[in-house]
C-alpha cells in the first residue's frame, strides 16, 4: 500500500519538476544539503591539482611564467586595438541610432564536479547566488560558449552544456550571418543544425557564433565549427553537424558573464571587471 503512495508522490514530483513549478525551492533546499558532500568527493581531485602545482620545479615555473608573459603581451596589444574598435563601433551605432553594446562583466569560476546522470551534460561550478549567479546566465571558457546556468544554490550552480540533448542555441555563420539553431545531441563532440534549407551557403569549417537572438546568450561568442555538411536526396533540410569549440570535456575554469546593465551592483563583480 505504501509503495503505491510513494510511487504517486514520485510521479507528481517528476511532473512538477519537469514543468518547473513550485518545486524549485524544494530542489534548492535539497541541493544545498548535498552541496557539502559534492565538495567532499571532489576534494581529492582539487588537492591533486594543487599538489601538482607545488611539486613543479623552479625551471618549469620560470618557463611557464615566461610563456604567460609573452602571451599576455600579445593579448594586451590585441586589446588595445579592440578598445579602439569598440569605441568606433559604438560611435557608428550611435550614428545609426541603435543601442550600443558594451562589454559584459565577467567572473571566473571553477568546475567542482562533472558528475551527472548518464542522460545529462551538466557540470557544477563553485559560484552561486552569493556571487549573484542567476538562472539563465551564460557560461563560457577561453574557446567559446559552454552553456547556461540552470540551478543555483548559495555556493554552487549547475550548468547545462550546449551539447545536452535538451539544449538549443541560436547561432549565425560568422562568414555570412546566416541564422540557424544548433541543438545538442547528447554527444560531447557533436551539435546538429536544425532545419537549414539546402539552398543555404554553408561549408565545412565555417565558424558558428552566438546570434544573440532570444536574448539568452550574448551575441558574437564562438559556439562551434561545422564538421559535416550533407545534402540527402529527398530530405527537406540539409544535414549539418558541428563540433563545439569550448572544451566541454575538460574540467577547469570557466567564465561567467553578466550583461553590462546587470542590476545587482556589488563590489566583487565590478572589481573583476577591470
Q: Write the binding mask 162 to 191 for another protein: x where contact by CB under 8 A, - elsewhere.
A: ---xx-------------------x-----
- Cβ–Cβ < 8 Å for 200, 172: no
Assess 129 for contact with another protein (CB under 8 A). Answer: no
Angle at 25 between CA 20 and CA 26, to 5 degrees: 90
Q: Which residues pair with 125 in a beta bridge?
A: 111, 157
Say how far apart CA 218 and CA 223 lie, in whole Å. 11
Cell 518545486 belongs to: 23
Quick check: 85 binds another protein (CB under 8 A)? no
Q: Which is nearer to another protein, 13 or 214 (CB)?
A: 13
Q: Does 83 bind another protein (CB under 8 A)?
A: no
Q: How far apart are CA 196 and CA 194, in angstroms?
A: 6
Query: Which stretches of 56-178 are DSSP H helices?
Result: 58-96
117 binds another protein, rule: CB under 8 A: yes
Neighbours of 268 (CB within 10 A): 12
CB of residue 238 to another protein, shortest distance in Å: 23
Q: What are phi and psi of 106, to 5 degrees?
A: -140, 160
Q: Which of 104, 105, 107, 122 binds another protein (CB under 8 A)?
A: 122
- Which of 21, 22, 25, 40 is close enough to bind another protein by CB under 8 A? 40
Least spacing, CB of residue 74 vs another protein, in Å: 34
Is 42 a binder of another protein (CB under 8 A)? yes
Residues forming the site for another protein (CB under 8 A): 2-3, 6-7, 9-14, 16-18, 23, 26-27, 30-31, 33-34, 37-38, 40-42, 45, 113-120, 122, 151, 158, 165-166, 186
Amino acid at each position: 500500500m505504501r509503495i503505491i503512495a510513494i510511487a504517486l508522490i514520485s510521479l507528481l514530483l517528476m511532473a512538477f519538476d519537469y514543468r518547473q513549478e513550485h518545486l524549485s525551492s524544494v530542489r534548492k533546499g535539497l541541493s544545498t544539503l548535498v552541496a557539502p558532500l559534492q565538495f567532499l568527493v571532489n576534494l581529492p581531485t582539487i588537492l591533486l591539482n594543487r599538489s601538482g602545482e607545488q611539486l613543479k620545479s623552479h625551471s618549469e615555473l620560470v618557463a611557464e611564467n615566461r610563456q604567460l608573459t609573452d602571451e599576455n603581451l600579445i593579448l594586451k596589444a590585441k586589446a588595445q586595438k579592440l578598445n579602439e574598435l569598440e569605441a568606433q563601433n559604438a560611435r557608428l551605432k550611435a550614428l545609426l541610432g541603435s543601442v550600443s553594446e558594451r562589454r559584459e562583466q565577467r567572473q571566473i569560476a571553477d568546475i567542482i564536479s562533472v558528475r551527472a546522470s548518464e542522460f545529462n551534460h551538466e557540470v557544477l561550478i563553485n559560484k552561486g547566488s552569493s556571487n549573484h549567479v542567476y538562472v539563465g546566465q551564460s557560461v563560457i571558457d577561453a574557446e567559446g560558449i559552454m552553456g547556461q546556468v540552470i540551478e543555483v544554490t548559495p555556493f554552487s550552480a549547475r550548468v547545462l552544456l550546449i551539447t545536452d540533448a535538451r539544449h538549443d542555441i541560436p547561432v549565425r555563420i560568422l562568414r555570412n550571418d546566416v541564422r540557424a539553431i544548433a541543438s545538442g545531441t547528447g554527444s560531447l563532440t557533436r551539435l546538429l543544425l536544425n532545419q537549414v534549407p539546402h539552398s543555404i551557403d554553408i561549408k565545412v569549417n565555417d565558424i558558428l557564433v552566438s546570434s544573440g537572438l532570444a536574448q539568452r546568450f550574448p551575441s558574437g561568442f564562438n559556439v562551434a565549427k561545422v564538421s559535416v555538411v550533407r545534402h540527402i536526396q529527398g530530405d527537406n533540410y540539409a544535414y549539418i553537424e558541428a563540433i563545439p569549440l569550448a572544451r566541454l570535456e575538460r574540467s577547469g575554469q570557466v567564465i561567467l558573464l553578466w550583461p553590462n546593465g546587470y542590476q545587482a551592483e556589488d563590489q566583487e563583480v565590478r572589481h573583476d571587471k577591470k
